[in-house]
Amino acid sequence: MNHRLVLRQGPPLRVDARALTPALLGALSADEVRRLRLPHGREGVMLAELFDVRPGRDDGQHALVLEGDLSRFDAIGAGLAEGTMEVHGPVGDAAGLGMSGGRLLIRGDARDLAGCAMRGGWLEVDGSIGDLGASALPGERDGMRGGTLVVRGAAGHRLADHMRRGTVVVFGDAGDFVASRMVAGTLALAGRCGVHAGFGMRRGTVLFAGPAPEPAASFVPVNSDAPVFWQLLARDLARFGGPFDGLSKRRVDRWAGDLAVLGHGELLIPH
Amino acid sequence: MQRRGITIDDTFAEAFPMKATRLVITAHNATWAMHAAVAATGFATSVIACGCEAGIERELEAGQTPDGRPGVAVLMFAVSGKELAKQIERRVGQCVLTCPTTAVFAGLAEGEPANLGRNLRFFGDGWQTSKVIGGVRYWRVPVMDGEFVAQESTPVIKGVGGGNLLLLATGTDAALAGAEAAVAAMRRVPNVILPFPGGVVRSGSKVGSKYAALPASTNDAFCPSLTHLAPRTELDADVRCVLEIVIDGLAETDVAAAMRAGLAALVERGAEAGVRRVSAGNYGGKLGPFHFHLHRLEPAEDAR
């Protein structure tokens, strides 16, 4: 059965919430869910001490709903492979860490490392995310490798650092070093970004649907259009709506780089 | 069976399973898309020696293609998936990649994937890039007019090849006019191609030959010059010209629909137009699993 977990009060320490997946909890009764132990600081805590466990909507799909201020809960939806998880409220670090499938919808803010090392699935954050969204875990070389990350608010620094595959769509602003060391994949940004966009990117695409930064000296203009690719990309991004709708009617300038590395990446600047 | 004076033989067309795919070729305008499609489907009349049978299925409006440009849908059929893959690569590589402004996409939703841009990308000599958009991988190859975009693979499905109609007419003019009318009607049917020149073949063949090296030879039973000579003939004295229309389709129902449309167009013209009899080619029913009986493809009521 599907469950709805309503936070009664915030925990005093940080909680590792990666055990809370729709598939796992869907196989448990409400009592079994209440008896789950979650890592809490250096100890563990019974789920029932933190949450009221209520029945969720049952439509044949695995679905899990969390409600409340979960900003002290890290790794929510980490490793998610199937089913839908919806969080009404802010969450902590590493939401959707390494998820490979399913849908994780966060109706609030997420902190650092959201969608980090993601391999598939759909992660949507209605609020803003912290630094290193869709990037690699510290010390690792593989960032996001598949799936889709949608951020309705803003993103912090190092967004899509080391990203290798997949799509990141940000409606708001982003910090410094967006798509730094990007290996491939697509980042579409509607707001402003900080300095050093595309720093060290090897391949991949960064699209500035809104205000675009001045490309760095290690990027060169491309003297031909890519109308087919642009239409394919713009028509696909149109499904996100808002600033990404109508891109296909605009013309686009392309810049190739970062020439300090492979230089097969591109910055797309519609006008 | 007689319809408007035309004799419809109690026989059937015998067709074979083939591997098939649809490609969508787009370009800056319809003219260049058509140039590429014509070239890519050239020399593709019969698998006997062309490697595949291919043809233009229909033209596509800008709103019907993945990149919003005008395009052409082509169908390709071969005897095996391996041979089809080889033909796709050769034909797209030589005729689409080379044609100004073109791009090529898969035109079927499901099937066994065969390489489309996957190997053509190496033409890019390291400058090629791949892009996954909406879950589909495309290859972008820099070329002198910009870049060539090709979807990585195209689905291959089981198709049906060798549906046919034989038009027995009183002379060349009558046979050509009848064939042209039937071809025009059949080309309006989706999911089929008529791979021969103008949709029509005059050298219908039988299996085997007196020469051991040849797998097929002229269909002497339908050659009017041999009516009084060949040991077996299908023709009467008033038949002076026979033409055949061959149909390949993505499904049995598509081939049947095309044959029905062709038959209806012939019947509508009536026997006075010169096509006196309609027959079909088969090998006795033992070779091909698909049998299209002409009497079961009767033209719709309003066309009689």
Helix or strand or coil: residue B207?
Answer: strand
Backbone angles phi, psi at B292, to 5 degrees: -105, 95
Mean model confidence pLDDT for chain A? 96
User: B285 pLDDT band (50/70/90 cuts)?
Assistant: confident
* pLDDT interval class at B300 (50, 70, 90): low
Q: With an 8 Å Cβ cutoff, are B149 and A229 in contact?
A: yes
Nearest CA in chain B to A233: B133
Helix/strand/coil for A130: coil
- pLDDT number for residue A169: 98
Sequence letter at residue A205: T
* Cis? peptide before B238, omega within 30° of 0: no
pLDDT at B302: 45
Give the per-residue pLDDT at B256. Answer: 97
Which residues of A are less than 8 Å from B140 in CB distance? 226, 229
> In the structure encoding, which two tokens stand for residue A214, read together?
């001045």
Average pLDDT on A250-268 reads 96
Q: What percent of chain A is modeled with pLDDT above 90?
A: 94
> What pLDDT does residue B304 have?
43
Q: Do A226 and B129 touch (CB under 8 A)?
A: no
* Of B302 and A5, the one with more pLDDT: A5
Express each pLDDT in B125-173 by its tens digit. 999 999 999 999 999 999 999 999 999 999 999 999 999 999 999 999 9
Taken as a whole, chain A contains a residue count of: 271
How far is Cα A256 from Cα B147, in angstroms, rounded to an integer? 14
Three-state secondary-structure class, residue A238:
helix
Q: Nearest CA of chain B to the CA of A240: how many Å?
A: 12
If one counts every other C-beta atom within 10 angstroms of the C-beta of residue B43, the result is 12
Residues of B in contact with A165 (CB under 8 A): 132
pLDDT tens digits for B176-190? Answer: 999 999 999 999 999
A145 touches chain B (CB under 8 A): no
Spatial separation of the C-alpha atoms in residues B294 and B280, rounded to whole Å = 8
> For the segment B58-70, what is each residue's pLDDT rounded down to a tens digit?
999 999 999 999 9
* Cα separation, B206 vs B222, whole angstroms: 10
Average pLDDT over residues B101-121: 97
Strand A165-170 with A145-151, pairing: parallel
Tell me whether A178 touches chain B (CB under 8 Å): no
Say if residue A2's pLDDT is above 70. yes
pLDDT tens-digit series, residues A15-46:
999 999 999 999 999 999 999 999 999 999 99
| C-alpha–C-alpha distance, residues A138 and A157, integer Å | 14
pLDDT in tens, A157-180: 999 999 999 999 999 999 999 999
> Under a CB-based contact definition with an 8 Å cutoff, are residues B253 and B191 in contact?
no
Chain A residues inside the 8 Å CB shell of B145: 224
Mean pLDDT of all residues in B77-86: 97
pLDDT reading at B299 higher than 60: no
Chain B positions in Cβ-Cβ contact with residue A248 (cut-off 8 Å): 68
